Amino acid sequence: MNYKLIIAACILGLIFTQIFIYQYKRNPNEYTELNFVFIKKEGEKNDSYKIYFDEIVETEEKVFCYKDDFYTILDYSNGMFLLAKYPKKIKENEKFNFYFEITNNLGKEWNYKYYILLNENIVREDTITIKNKEKKLIREELQISSTGKNKVSIKLDTKEEIYFYIEVV
């Protein structure tokens, strides 16, 4: 048996593996941000809240329910959460708006395909082109006919996802 050929094949395999890893290694500075944006309604004073909880609220998600109101965590620092409040209830077939923002930090212009889902079913899809280091604000409008607690999700083709729950009465 020719051990020199086996050793040479192993070395070539290691070299090709290193080249492959280097070529397809994702830069940690290249990413996409997907966030909800809360627009103040006319007459409202604030769209974000500082809440000091009088009971423990545990969640691994960025969206949670506390005393029948839905919140998303916008920021966390020094033991305090900056929260934004969602509409908690709407009437059946009532139209409501929500906004979200996509920030491109992928190092190049990107065509994002996004999906609006209601209870894991796609209700709308669209594509938007965003230049590197640019943000785009997207306004969506939904009308929900199924009563009860409904999950509204936004998913990108780059695997980011955000969502909130809304109750239809």
| pLDDT 10s digits, 92-150 | 988 877 788 899 998 899 999 999 999 999 999 999 999 999 989 888 888 899 899 99
Residue 5 in any domain: the answer is: no
Residue 124 in any domain: the answer is: yes
Q: 25 falls in which pLDDT band (50, 70, 90)?
A: low
Q: What is the pLDDT of residue 47?
A: 47
When pLDDT is averaged across residues 12-32 and rounded to a whole number, the result is: 72
| C-beta of residue 86 within 8 angstroms of C-beta of residue 47 | no
According to the per-residue pLDDT averaged within each range, which of 14-28, 79-93, 146-160 is highest? 146-160
| C-beta of residue 168 within 8 angstroms of C-beta of residue 147 | yes
The amino acid present at 163, given as its one-letter code, is: Y
Residue 18 in any domain: the answer is: no
Residue 118 in any domain: the answer is: yes
Residue 155: which CATH number?
2.60.40.10
> Environment class of residue 136 by beta-carbon count within 10 Å: exposed (0-12), middle (13-18) or buried (19+)?
middle
Phi, psi values for residue 157, rounded to 5°: -70, -10
Higher pLDDT, 22 or 90: 90
Residue 15 in any domain: the answer is: no
pLDDT tens for each residue of 36-68: 775 554 544 444 555 555 555 555 556 666 666
Tokens at 138, concatenated: 């997207």
Domain that holds residue 105: 31-168
Phi, psi values for residue 86, rounded to 5°: -95, 165
The kind and range of the H/E element at 100 are strand 95-105
Q: What is the pLDDT of residue 46?
A: 46
| Alpha helices (H) in the chain, listed in sequence order | 3-24
**Residue 38: alpha-carbon gap to chain centroid:** 14
| pTM > 0.85 | no
Q: What is the pLDDT of residue 122?
A: 95
According to the per-residue pLDDT averaged within each range, which of 30-39, 69-78, 156-165 is highest? 156-165
Tokens at 36, concatenated: 């909800």
Residue 19 in any domain: the answer is: no
- What total number of domains does the chain contain? 1
